[in-house]
Amino acid sequence: MADFVASSIAGAAAIVLGNPIDVIKVRLQSGSSSAPSRAPAFETWTSMFRGAAAPVITNGALNALLFVSFNRSLAILENDNHQPILRPSLHNVWLAGAFSGLVTFIVSTPTEVVKCRAQLYNEPNTTSWTVARDIWRSNGIRGLYHGGVITSLRDSIGYGFYFWAYEASKNILGLESETAKTLVAGGIAGCVTWATIYPLDVVKTRVQTQQLLQVPSHAGPSAYMGALDHARDIYRTEGLRGYFSGFWWCMGRAFFVNAVQWALYEYIMGLFSPAKAGATRREFEAHEQKYNL
């Protein structure tokens, strides 16, 4: 329970802090005529937080699926016999992360559809709720899972590298301060994750927002385009550079947001059970050994 509460609070805080840059990222990724190559101007100060409600509301459910599936699958892979897993194999960490990322597709896909569309609307009264309501009225449940395949692929690969990079970074970093180690490892994990999946995220954004945009297409402006169609179209019209629109904005956001999220998560866990947290750190030091790649 403590793990769920800590991850939910930390995740919600990270979403709110990183949303202004996420808005810029999505607008640059979309390839719309209203999104220039530089950072788009915000219409009002509230537009910096447009689309944040959807991921904040679903954050608890997503974290529940993510951490429960990750911990259970890692325990099975490590054959832990109900003993604490002190130094799991990084190979197993990646596999457990990839599986847990695939499971979160149930929540992440509708969240991404609503978030991305809300971030692109220019109307001042647009909210995540009005976007979700319009999608439901026009396309039902199917509309909320638009781009589900590319989203599940992105999440599976992304969370695999996310947990892998975090565990590996904490093992390699020679920082004495546990807080500093958590901050740096969290930031590195975020950057590694986005670097590995960014082209997939660009294609995902195009798929999920295509009804709002007039993106040039060989198939015609009104034709529905799947993920492969968008991937080909990006290369045809923008070249390899098109797969990395908004990349450096995302890298800056990834380091800052994930550093804060992991540090806040560790801090809240310490508040819930300080004795257990201290015992875990001492146990780690007493059983120091290398990861098995």
Give 104 or 120, the one with higher predicted confidence. Answer: 104
Asked if residue 10 is part of any domain, the answer here is: yes
Per-residue pLDDT reduced to its tens digit, 233-243: 999 999 999 99
Output the domain CATH number for residue 236. Answer: 1.50.40.10
Report if residue 36 sits inside a domain.
Answer: yes
- In this predicted model, what pLDDT tens digit does every residue of 174-200 receive, in sequence order? 766 777 888 898 899 999 999 999 999
Half-sphere exposure of 153 (CA within 13 A, CB side): 15
pLDDT score recorded for residue 71: 85
**Domain contains 107:** yes
Mean pLDDT of 26-51: 66
- State the average pLDDT for the chain: 82
Read off the pLDDT of each residue in 221-228 and give the average, rounded to a whole number. Answer: 73
Q: Residue 185 domain-assigned?
A: yes
pLDDT of residue 266: 78
Give the residue numbers spanning the domain of 113: 2-286
Instruction: Evaluate whether residue 165 is within a structural domain.
Output: yes
Residue 293 lies in a domain: no
Q: Is residue 291 part of a domain?
A: no
pLDDT at residue 41 is higher than 60: no
Average pLDDT on 59-84 reads 82
Average pLDDT over residues 147-164: 96
pLDDT at 32: 56
Residues 5-31, mean pLDDT to the nearest whole number: 87
pTM of structure: 0.83
User: Does some domain include residue 48?
Assistant: yes
The total domain count for the chain is 1
